[in-house]
Amino acid sequence: MRVVVPFAAETPKTRLESVFSPDERSRFARAMLADVLRAIAETGHKPTVVSTAPLAVADLELPEAVAAVTSVAVDERPLTDAVNAWLPGGDGAADESGATGDPDHDPVAVVMADLALATPDALEGLLTTAADVAIAPGRGGGTNALVVRHPAFRVDYHGTSYLDHCEIARSVGADLETVDSFRLGTDIDEPADLVEVLVHGRTSDRALARLREFGFALDDRDGRVGVARETDRASE
Amino acid sequence: MRVVVPFAAETPKTRLESVFSPDERSRFARAMLADVLRAIAETGHKPTVVSTAPLAVADLELPEAVAAVTSVAVDERPLTDAVNAWLPGGDGAADESGATGDPDHDPVAVVMADLALATPDALEGLLTTAADVAIAPGRGGGTNALVVRHPAFRVDYHGTSYLDHCEIARSVGADLETVDSFRLGTDIDEPADLVEVLVHGRTSDRALARLREFGFALDDRDGRVGVARETDRASE
């Protein structure tokens, strides 16, 4: 199954700008992307990064086996249009190898690049359903990851996309399964979300390593759990 | 398996005070409790509400089959102490029927009363693990639900309790499984969490019905999904 990973290469993670410099945001976003690609590769599938700007796979410092199965396609269109081109029955899109999105109506998965907690196990739970459409919702009614096996289904990421996708599935006669996963349901968008990376990140995760390198640590001094930054360490 | 549901009967859901009146907070908290008790009963287990103050089961308006298996024990102690009394090997606690917490070291589950999205399926995933300790973490490093089969394990709900519980399990030689569930990982604590009830609540859920009765609806007018309240309807 082709697994598409949309990536905003030029303006990543703007909602983290209160805690990261622009350079840090870019490095953190690429670290999360690298972790997501590795998790996908470990399920035995081949990820295609659909990036808003050229992106060198070599710069992601992926493990060799992950880099070998990862491809990049550049698509400057808005997220919804770029993803729809890759879906079964979509108008197609060519990656660097010349492969196009799905001439055979093979199922396609779409996994967001900021699912820093994604593990192969969590992804397997999504990728192995038999439903025409399977969705792992995120907080706030988002669609963090989905699998599409139905040729008439199209995405629309605006607004409460999870509910919209349920409705779109109904309207085209596709059956839908909702995948219940905390790991896939956790997208890292806002400063409060960094807690989840520090709590649940695996020691091999690039995103966790970046946060620690930037000086972030858990902070529960005021009775609720947040993150604090050791500015000394960050400025080293 | 005994399933303990701690409930703060007198000061429920204080972090929702910006959007609810005190009476509404109390009614909403009891609606979530009723939904959690029903989900537990539907797994075939018997819930015991461990309440900080007397609580009449009849006032929860539970379905008859749920009320028949639900008991209440009053314990004014802080959450950690009250829960530890019920764990295998704990010092015991008597409910209204005179039954005490676990003389036989039977496994005990602890499920928070604000897991409004809990379904029997999601709970089964937690209740059926074989681990000495199984935890469904919540956002912010919390422990939303757990199952304890090891007689030396004790809870400590302060701070980043999920990490503390992992450490406590290690220290007593208990193996630990983390249960990956968006539904169990979603505790309804803050106004932003109400979105999750409106998006994922089932039509039979009491908490969803209460929110609608209070006039709450999804609102994505500013591009991000939140809740809005129709004050006209609320004041009817």
Q: Is A70 on the interface with B (CB under 8 A)?
A: no
Integer CA distances (angstroms), B232 to A120, A195, B173, B218, B229, in order: 48, 38, 57, 16, 9
In chain A, the residue whose alpha carbon lies closest to the alpha carbon of B164 is A199
As a residue count, chain A comes to: 236
pLDDT at A233: 47
Are the CB atoms for B40 and B47 separated by under 8 Å? yes
Task: Please tell us whether the domain made up of B2-189 is placed in CATH 3.90.550.10.
Answer: yes
Among the listed residues B111, B110, B113, the one whose alpha carbon sits nearest the alpha carbon of residue B8: B113
pLDDT at B95: 57
Which of B166, B180, B184 to substitute to test the interface with A, most A CBs within 10 Å? B180
pLDDT at A97: 56
Residue stretches of chain A with pLDDT short of 50: 102, 232-236
pLDDT at B96: 54
Chain B residues touching A185 at Cβ < 8 A: 182, 185
Chain B residues touching A217 at Cβ < 8 A: none
Q: Where are the domains of chain B?
A: 2-189
pLDDT at A222: 73
Chain A residues touching B162 at Cβ < 8 A: 199
In A197-216, the residues whose Cβ lies within 8 Å of chain B are 199-200
Among the listed residues B131, B132, B136, the one whose alpha carbon sits nearest the alpha carbon of residue B121: B136
pLDDT at A221: 81
**CATH fold of the domain at A2-234:** Spore Coat Polysaccharide Biosynthesis Protein SpsA; Chain A (3.90.550)
Question: What is the pLDDT confidence band of residue B21, given thresholds at 50, 70 and 90?
Answer: very high
pLDDT at B12: 79
Nearest to B182 among A140, A160, A180 (CB): A180
Q: Is A225 on the interface with B (CB under 8 A)?
A: yes
Would you say residue B236 has pLDDT above 50?
A: no
Residue A212, exposed/middle/buried by CB under 10 A (0-12, 13-18, 19+)?
A: middle
- Summarize pLDDT for B171-230 with one digit per residue, the tens: 999 999 999 999 999 999 999 999 999 999 999 999 999 999 999 999 988 777 899 998
In chain B, the residue whose alpha carbon lies closest to the alpha carbon of A222 is B159
Distance of CA A178 to the CA centre of its chain: 17
In B82-121, the residues whose Cβ lies within 8 Å of chain A are 121
pLDDT at B94: 56
- Summarize pLDDT for B88-97 with one digit per residue, the tens: 988 766 555 5
- Summarize pLDDT for B59-106 with one digit per residue, the tens: 899 999 999 999 999 999 999 999 999 999 887 665 555 555 545 678
Among the listed residues A131, A157, A115, A125, the one whose alpha carbon sits nearest the alpha carbon of residue A31: A115
Which of B117, B178, B199, B218 to substitute to test the interface with A, most A CBs within 10 Å? B199
- Summarize pLDDT for B30-44 with one digit per residue, the tens: 999 999 999 999 999
> What burial letters (b/e) apply to A25-47, b meaning 16+ CB within 10 Å?
bbbbbbbbbbbbbbbbbbbebbb
pLDDT at A236: 38
pLDDT at A7: 97
Nearest to B180 among A141, A182, A195 (CB): A182
Yes or no, beta carbons of B137 and A182 under 8 Å apart: yes
pLDDT at B60: 93
Q: Which value does ipTM take for this structure?
A: 0.92
Assigned token pair, A156: 């629309």
pLDDT at B104: 60
Yes or no, beta carbons of A218 and B136 under 8 Å apart: no
Q: Is B181 on the interface with A (CB under 8 A)?
A: yes
pLDDT at A99: 56
Euclidean distance between CA atoms B133 and A161, whole angstroms: 36
- Summarize pLDDT for B135-188 with one digit per residue, the tens: 999 999 999 999 999 999 999 998 899 999 999 999 999 999 999 999 999 999
Mean pLDDT over B20-38 rounds to 96
Q: Tell me the shortest Cα–Cα distance from B200 to chain A, in angstroms.
A: 8
